[in-house]
A = this chain, B = another copy of it.
């Protein structure tokens, strides 16, 4: 399948690599390709500059947001939460229309220090704001509840014995993404939390994720929903 990834940070890179490994055709989009490729410093998290990473992943096309969105039959929003509406606007609603848009973002606000608060919470969510801004896209909220390395490689923790949570308003989009998650990436336990208002809960969970990362001393963890049966 043709996949368009929006965002070239560690989340976008990790997801792009995962889709390529599973045999998909991937384009990754950014605001300014020349600027991105010219960067020579590591990012704040110590990740290598994009061009260094891309030299080892040159089967991934690098293009502007609109090019990646036009390329993809399925799109992944891996941009910074605070910049997502702007990035998707640059991608162009006509390039999002009728497509699955997997929203991996979290509305993190670090302006008050660490741990972060959320810039939208409780009665609304970033995913709902994105869906409202781009009504012809089929937003599926997913992958925001774990570190990038697990999204397309659940086996990196406990043989994949943990849970992928998602929600969205379009049943077909959720079914298609769930099939990819299972078949391309090996997710065993996928739980659909219902309509896109569930993103309020999934995005709020990131505050618990940050706390648990601190307690566990690693981002390489996830939750498993454990039932009586």
Contacts and interface: CB of A to CB of B under 8 A. Distances in A.
Interface of A: 112, 115, 117-118, 121-123, 156-158, 161-162, 165, 167, 191-194, 197-198, 200-202, 204-205, 207-208, 210-212, 214-216, 218, 220-228
B224 A224 contact: yes
Contacts of A212: 165, 191, 193, 225
Contacts of A118: 122
- Residue picked from A117, A157, A167, A224, most chain B C-beta under 10 Å: A224
A205 B211 CA distance: 12
Contacts of A165: 208, 212
Contacts of A192: 215
A207 B204 CA distance: 8
Contacts of A224: 223-224, 226
Dominant secondary structure of chain A at its interface with chain B: mixed
Contact of A225 (B204, B214, B221): B221
Copies in the complex: 2
A225 B228 contact: no
Given A122-B118, A224-B223, A226-B157, A208 B214 contact: no
A214 B210 CA distance: 25
A125 to B, nearest CB: 10
A211 B122 CA distance: 13
Nearest to A154: B226
Contacts of A156: 228
Nearest to A123: B117
A215 B191 contact: yes
Given A200-B207, A214-B193, A228 B117 contact: no
Q: Which 9 A-B pairs have the closest CB atoms?
A: A204-B204, A201-B208, A201-B207, A193-B211, A223-B223, A220-B228, A162-B226, A121-B122, A221-B227
A135 B193 CA distance: 38
B221 A228 contact: yes
Nearest to A122: B121
Nearest to A227: B221
Contacts of A204: 121-122, 204-205, 207-208
